[in-house]
Structure 1
């Protein structure tokens, strides 16, 4: 396993970001169909550089970093991202977010990657709860959350102004003791 590999699944590698990821990240995030449900507009090269600079130091869920930004690779090709970050340290809560290149959709890769992200979060001794907040129009992400065992807890109506319109937010969460048993996950040595 490479030193920047954080987790592997039967078909995927989840690893830390590298400077060399810029072109692939921009190729994915510059797509209007990908950016539609994200906080940012479609990325330009400059946006990608700024986002990558923010992600490079996010290497550990433990404090003081408290964030883990990972790329998802399939057979050496970057096909998406999974990010985890602490939201309320005193409540031991981590939020998870994901993006997948639509060209690789429908094969279960996002499910596999997000399930691995959940195992990483709950692999921390102090994590009690993992949440995900989604644009309610993003039916694919909603189905994905349900597939990996994250339950919908709230539907906030028109609570977020995004790209010129009010949007609804779905809030999902899963507790550590609700996490279903999953396949073993290889992790990088500590």
Structure 2
């Protein structure tokens, strides 16, 4: 895996993570069309907070995510490409911790969405594993979590495949899209992550 930046300040530098088959990069204007191809699908958004995107939703989301370039500053959002085609998106953000001081180690949360058109080829596993390695390179990061609708079995399997441990199953704790839903919580520690230990 190879991490690059353009030598600018952390908040403005584009991030690129390269794996054997994928490129994970920060958002650019114009990404909305590629993302709309899967975020506009009801099956992809079934277990997400948002409804399927409209073209305007896609433009607004990309505009927001363009600024998410530095996890240390709060959030990182990346587009996942295979052979020049957008196959998914991954993100990481710092979790608010009320008793945190400047010296306290932090917790980050991961999120992801992938196009079903590219399913079954291991792209999600490869991309989220690369993201997790990059996230654990962030100074003072102690723990990474992922939360998902308990019915989202493919995301739960992905979290387990990349080495995250299931820590909780909260029953009907979230009111989403006019129904109560269960939430699964997965986590891993820096000390448990092979490249960070």
Tell me the TM-score normalized by structure 2: 0.87
Match of 1:130 in 2: 144
- Superposed displacement of residue 180, structure 1: 2.9
Match of 1:35 in 2: 45
Match of 2:70 in 1: 60
- Superposed displacement of residue 11, structure 1: 0.3
Moved more, 156-165 or 94-103: 156-165
Q: 2:77 aligns with which of 39, 63, 69?
A: 69
What SS class does the counterpart of residue 115 from structure 1 fall into? helix
Cα distance in structure 2, aligned partners of 1:27 and 1:174: 32
Cα distance in structure 2, aligned partners of 1:179 and 1:72: 22
After TM superposition, the structure 1 = structure 2 runs for residues 20-169 of structure 1, keeping only pairs within 5 Å, are 20-63=30-73, 66-88=74-96, 90=100, 91-169=105-183
Cα distance in structure 2, aligned partners of 1:175 and 1:97: 17
Segments of structure 2 that go 5 or more residues without pairing to the other structure are 7-13
- Superposed displacement of residue 125, structure 1: 1.9
Q: Which has the higher contact order (CA 8 A, sep 6+)?
A: 1
Runs of 4+ residues over 4 Å off in structure 1: none
Give the paired residue count.
180
What SS class does the counterpart of residue 172 from structure 2 fall into? strand
The 8 Å contact of residues 26 and 48 in structure 1, kept in 2 or not, is answered as yes
Match of 2:9 in 1: none
- Superposed displacement of residue 25, structure 1: 0.9
Q: Deviations over 1:57-84 (max 9, x none)?
A: 0000122xx1000000000101100000
Tell me the TM-score normalized by structure 1: 0.90
Cα distance in structure 1, aligned partners of 2:132 and 2:5: 21
